[in-house]
Chains A and B, each alone.
Chain A
């Protein structure tokens, strides 16, 4: 390959992005059918960031997400049956039906939680990075957050402390140009998020978040730097969500509040990260139509199994309401 990335990884990228896309399309349909009630923030259109970043990590590395984290969970290698079951708020879900779509966890693959309070997981990832340095482990931590989270004070506090202590953390900002109904220029005095790293004496880079290869390579470099004890990196990934802030619609929520110009959405659909990689793989001969068909079929089957698993799973039992508050 022209980019020194193995064919296996490239195919894994392709498969992961497609899985996230298909999984979320199914979620969207099930919301419309009324089978899913928990608020779902879909990341369709943004798959390349979670995918590229998580493939640059080891299983032992930690990640933290936010309200829009189905993709992070899937990309890190979480069990999609437990994810779908959680979205159905069933007992078999990854959070036992206590969390729903916005509260995902899979400690077995390093996902320690996805709190939907904006900005909340940024310092927490710094804390897990601090833990690596105290324990002398080699683990790197990643926090995924949106452009909106950079207006919380805690973002700046976290960058400062992480850089000050040279902690092994990578800050990945998924800049989709909107936070709920607010375009980024209406809430940030300087919309260049990567640049904010400068003030904290750490590298900040702005990249194309719809180019999974660029994401992968950038995160790889940041992870290496972190593992070597050289401190954090802020990576701003430019992307766009194709659906509403919450729910399956292609606007913020319901046609009456659509605030995003259709041309803008359409232009981003043309920059589809999956199409982009697919084209590249076909050109490079790394993917054939046959293999593509097999991958799609496999994903179709996996997502169908996840949906059926979730549908068949029981709801939590009433007494479970009182469980899990404290370790016993």
Chain B
């Protein structure tokens, strides 16, 4: 099978969705610029024109409402934020409005809106240009949250998100854009709410999210050489959460390490730890370890960034701590 990058996979999924269904369109800052959103929207403006590829003023909250309005009337917008950090400005429309709309109006209308936010960090950009907000969105009823870690899932999850018919927050990570892998040319789906076993193992389960999946896979390889067999689960969706895949694995390994791209406190990792502990507390052989960002804003200085962002070594340490 041909190989394409993570960024190309997003681009291809968007293009195929738009080709197939005239109700799909993209709207967001920078979606006509090769610079702003990596190359994830390259060529779309040329192909679909300004009616369906709408680059916007810097008006995050307003534009999110606009996308929602289009969704309520039957279109399927993909609303793009070139960085997740800017989504804070749109919390009212995304959370108060889009997430609640169907429920608070008694299920009378749907909001088939995909909200694509990009994690774009590192490079000494500091606190306001580095954040991963998935756990905040996962906290909100009425939003689904997916975080592909591979080119295959990047395409399949975007397609599922657009077909889902509900507000889905789709989070891709700029650090993964150049990852290359086999991706089918046709349209296919990766189910929302289903994790994947990335590597089988028996001694410890590592549940990883987004970019940390890559780190976890590398950690598992290193651990293997030292005789520790780690099972790596790529969560793929963080809401709904695939409890089953996690519980099944931990039942077998009796040990759990969770690797997240967000902050420690109140994050999805704590949620997973809670679920596992409350269901399997008798079977666990050690404490659950969480590898996540320390509870500080992203710093600028590269030396601080290196300490701030966890990597495979932190995962290895966490595994060994209780082994």
Binding between chains A and B: yes
Interface residues of A (CB under 8 A from B): 37-39, 89-90, 95, 97-100, 102-103, 115-119, 148-149, 151-153, 179-182, 186-188, 252-254, 256-257, 315-316, 318, 320-322, 325
- A252 contacts B35, C-beta separation under 8 Å: yes
Give the shortest distance, in Å, between A116 (CB) and chain B (any CB).
6
8 Å CB contact of A180 from B30, B124, B302, B307: B30
CA distance A325 to B127 in the complex (A): 11
Contact of A256 among B34, B60, B86, B297 (CB under 8 A): B34
User: Which B residues are in CB contact (< 8 Å) with A253?
Assistant: 35
Closest to A179 in B: B58
Interface residues of B in 51-85 (CB under 8 A from A): 55-62, 85
A69 to B281, CA, bound (A): 54
B308 interface hit (Cβ, 8 Å) = yes
Q: Does B276 contact A (CB under 8 A)?
A: no
B301 and A97 contacting across the interface, CB-CB below 8 Å: yes
- Inter-subunit contact B125/A38 (CB<8 Å): yes
Q: Provide the residues of chain A in CB contact with B36, threshold 8 Å.
A: 180-181
Given A180-B30, A321-B296, A186-B55 contact (CB < 8 Å): yes
B57 and A100 contacting across the interface, CB-CB below 8 Å? no
Give the distance in Å from the alpha carbon of A39 to the alpha carbon of B296 in the complex: 21
Task: Using A180-B36, A181-B35 as known contacts, say yes or no to A97 and B300 having CB atoms under 8 A apart.
Answer: yes
The 9 closest A-B pairs by CB, nearest first: A100-B300, A151-B57, A89-B301, A38-B124, A97-B301, A187-B57, A181-B33, A315-B303, A257-B35
Q: Inside 8 A of B128's CB, which chain A residues have their CB?
A: 102-103, 115-117
Contacts of B56 in A (CB 8 A): 187
- Residues of B close to A320: CB separation below 8 A: 304
Q: Which residues of A contact B29 (CB under 8 A)?
A: 180
Please encode chain B, from 300 to 317, with 1 for each CB lying within 8 Å of some chain A CB and 0 for all others.
111110011000000000
Please tell me if the beta carbons of A99 and B300 are within 8 angstroms of each other in the complex: yes
Please tell me if the beta carbons of B300 and A98 are within 8 angstroms of each other in the complex. Answer: yes
**Total interface residues in chain B, CB < 8 Å:** 37
Note all chain A residues with C-beta closer than 8 A to B60: 152
A254 to B36, CA, bound (A): 12
Q: Is there an interface contact between B295 and A181, defined as CB atoms closer than 8 Å? A: no
Bound CA span A72–B291, Å:
40
Least CB distance from A33 to B in Å reads 15
**Is A89 within 8 A of B35, CB to CB?**
no
Check B294–A322 contact: CB distance below 8 A: yes
CB < 8 Å neighbour of A152 from B30, B58, B123, B297: B58
In the complex, the answer to whether A89 meets B302 with C-beta atoms within 8 Å is: yes
Chain A residues whose CB sits within 8 angstroms of the CB of B307 once the complex forms:
318, 321
Instruction: Give A252 to B252 CA distance when docked, in angstroms.
Output: 53
Q: A39-B125, A252-B35 are in contact. Are A182 and B55 (CB under 8 A)?
A: yes
**Residues of A close to B109: CB separation below 8 A:** none
Contact among B58, B301, B303, B304 for A119, CB-based, below 8 A: B58
Q: Which residue of B lies closest to A96 (CB)?
A: B301
* B125 adjacent to A102 (CB under 8 Å): yes
In the bound complex, CA of A146 to CA of B29 (Å): 16
Q: Give per-residue flags for B180-209: 1 if the beta carbon is below 8 A from chain A beta carbons, else 0.
A: 000000000000000000000000000000
The distance in angstroms between the C-alpha atoms of A179 and B299, with both chains bound, is 25
The 14 listed contacts between A and B (C-beta, < 8 Å) are A38-B300, A89-B302, A89-B303, A97-B300, A98-B126, A98-B127, A98-B300, A99-B300, A117-B85, A117-B86, A318-B307, A321-B294, A322-B296, A325-B297
Option from B59, B124, B297 in Cβ contact (under 8 Å) with A100: B124
Q: Is the CB of B300 within 8 A of A254?
A: no
Partner of B125 from the list A97, A100, A181, A186 (CB cut-off 8 Å) is A100
Cβ contact within 8 Å between A98 and B301? yes
Please name the residue on chain B nearest to A38 by beta carbon: B124
A187 / chain B contacts, CB cutoff of 8 Å: 56-58
Given contacts A100-B124, A117-B128, contact A153 B59 (CB under 8 A): yes
* Contact A116 B296, beta carbon cutoff 8 Å: no
Q: Taking the complex as formed, is B136 at the interface, i.e. its CB lies under 8 A from any CB of chain A?
A: no
Complex CA distance for A26 and B31, rounded to whole angstroms: 33
Are A325 and B296 within 8 A (Cβ)?
A: yes
In the complex, whether B280 has a CB less than 8 A from a CB of chain A is no
Contact of B127 with A97 in the complex, beta carbons under 8 Å: no
CB closest residue in chain A, given B306: A318
The chain B residue sitting closest to A115, CB to CB, is: B128
Chain B residue with the shortest CB-CB distance to A102: B126
- Set B30, B32, B33, B301: member contacting A90, Cβ < 8 A: B301
Min distance, Cβ B270 to any Cβ of chain A, angstroms: 19
Cα(A237)–Cα(B295), bound, Å: 41
> Are A321 and B300 touching (Cβ within 8 A)?
no
Residues of chain B lying within 8 A (CB to CB) of residue A318 = 303-304, 307
Within the complex, what minimum Cβ distance (angstroms) separates B40 from chain A? 15
- Tell me whether B140 is interfacial, beta carbon within 8 Å: no
Given contacts A97-B304, A316-B304, contact A321 B299 (CB under 8 A): yes
